[in-house]
A and B are shown apart, each in its own frame.
Chain A
Amino acid sequence: MTLQNDKIKMALAKGRVADKTIDRLKEIGYIFPDYSKESRKLIFTDTTGSLEFFLVKSPDVGTYVEKGAADIGIVGRDVLLEHPANVYELLNLKIGQCRMCVAGFKDTQIRYNQKLTVGTKYPHIAKHYFTQIDQPVDLITINGSVELGPILGLCDCIVDIVESGNTLRENGLVVLRSILDISSRLIVNHVSLKTKREQIDPIVEKFKELAF
């Protein structure tokens, strides 16, 4: 079982987080010469040949890491909560920080004796939250532009990620409740953490220095 010479494979969630992560990787000494945002390539290897990353849709990151197709991955906490995976959630990277919130019109009341209709991309997180506070709700899963929901009268409020709050403001909505803080996590495969320790530990250490 000599995996010593193997590259470390990393799965990154496409989008904002990937861009920030690649900048971070550059800071800690991993250069990917053939990577650019416009590139159509799927897999990139760094100049030392020890780290390789590929971009996948965010809900898939956990799956790739759990099944061992990737050794480590970087993905938002919201995604891990919505699509749980059997992985180690080793580090809070403190990038892509934002909050999961209940948002709606200013005068919307969240009252336990009144059923709310809630639109969201995160039905699992929303359900968990409203069960915890004993709020009866009807959940509607919407896949994008969730802010439209209350405006068009589809739902009373929404559960979504809020970063700056600009999108909400521009659409006349406000944060009603804050559910939890979100940031990117470094996740590691259960087996790789132990069998490829020599290669994974230094990467984790370098990320840790940046995170704390």
Chain B
Amino acid sequence: MLTTYTIEGFENIQYQGFQALSKIERSLTRLYSRYGYHQVATPTFETYDNFVQNGAIPANELFKFISRKGQVLALKPDATLSVARMAAINHHDPNEIIKLFYQTNIYRHFSSPGDVKKEMTQMGVEFFGDNSPECDGEIIEMAIKSLKANGVADVQVDLGHVGFINYLLDELTMSQDERARLFELIENKNLGDIQEFLSTHQYDPKISKIILELPMLYGDPADVFARMTKLCVNQNMQEVVKHLSALYEHLKSVGLAQYVTFDLGFTSSMNYYTDLIFKVYAGNWGAPIIDGGRYNKLSQQFGIDRPACGFAVNLLSLMDYLEEHDLIHVENPPHAVLLYRAGDKARTFETANALRSQGNIAEVFTINSLPSAMIERLAGQRLYQDAEFYVFSHGEVLKWQDQDLVPADRILSIALEPEQE
């Protein structure tokens, strides 16, 4: 049974998919380089402690290994942490501007009743050393362009802030579990269950009322900011409003305001985010293709206090979206298959190289049975659907046309000189 070779949550990428994927990668590499970002790579393994210490990812979602020295390793479950560590190791001045991008696979042992991919291919950017709204703006701009550059027409960015909810809940005494449960309900905009949750807990009624407003705190920015201002119960929350207004002003002046809506009713499962968080959606797809945000405290863990902001594109889900909407056009160069007899070897190889140097695909096979039978067998195979077939035999060149071999005067774009006798 072939299925024995399939591991749940992991998949092969077929050649068609791979072409699409590398096309996306090329366009993103070009985009990020042009914004001054430098590509880096981090190891596939991370130390387990890295993730468990700061509680970024639940321990049971990691793929763990023991190294020969007895150290616990994990398959990299997230790229940002690794890149932040790398920046900390190589750049010691906390005010240095460091712009990096990466392409990597990450591994997560998600528990879900459905089919969930456990290996994800990501490409992302991280901007270290700047804490301004303009830096947030650049990151959001690049996130939008990441989808636009690949032909996605409808791009929608949800901007939020992890602080707003947290600063509000800081006013209440609640356990971590309760907080997590409430976050989940707010994120799902599950008003009915939030009401139920609040009624079974004895919280300050004033704060409870504000909690009920959070899920609906989205939409037109001016309106959202006005509503947010009214809901602030402490200085920190007011700072959030100020920060987001400044970001919005920036986006307006660079012509990106039409892509964004504000939504203060979501948080992130990645708990290293400290300020802005955002998700980018393509078309009507409910699962975001890009996730990002600001993480000003993460680098402290590696000994350097530096602000940073970044995002990651889920390449496979972007690829799925593009395929589903017929937005991937991979152009294959012309493809010639040359069959030859021993006596015509030199000329065949020479022709094949000439074809290749002009950007064509050329393959050579030696004739070991009836040429027409060989061609028929190849032409029926999936990888040779678009190929043209030629036979080099006894100084002649024949082309396979309408189930027959006829004399050829050119191969693809190359004209053949008559054989000199």
Chain A interfacial positions (CB closer than 8 Å to B): 1, 65-69, 71, 82-92, 94, 123-124, 185, 188-195, 197, 211
Contacts and interface: CB of A to CB of B under 8 A. Distances in A.
B180 to A, nearest CB: 15
Contacts of A123: 113
B286 A194 contact: no
Contacts of A71: 284
A89 B285 CA distance: 16
A119 B321 CA distance: 38
A58 to B, nearest CB: 15
B323 interface: no
B189 A191 contact: no
A67 B284 CA distance: 7
Given A90-B189, A194-B158, A194-B219, A84 B285 contact: no
Interface string B190-204: 111100000000000
B113 A68 contact: no
A194 B218 contact: yes
A195 B283 CA distance: 10
Interface in B149-200: 153-154, 156, 158, 188-193
A137 B288 CA distance: 36
Contacts of A68: 283-286
A178 to B, nearest CB: 15
A1 B281 CA distance: 14
Contact of A191 (B113, B114, B191, B284): B284
B244 to A, nearest CB: 16
A69 B286 CA distance: 10
B287 A86 contact: yes
B126 interface: no
Contacts of B193: 89, 92
B219 A89 contact: no
A91 B191 contact: yes
Nearest to B157: A194
Contacts of A190: 158, 281, 286-288
Contact of B192 (A92, A191, A192, A197): A92
A83 B286 contact: no
A92 B189 CA distance: 11
The 3 closest A-B pairs by CB, nearest first: A68-B284, A92-B192, A66-B286
A83 B258 CA distance: 34
B112 interface: yes
B283 A191 contact: yes
Contacts of A83: 113-114
B285 A191 contact: yes
Contacts of A85: 286
Nearest to A94: B192
Given A194-B219, A194-B263, A90 B191 contact: yes
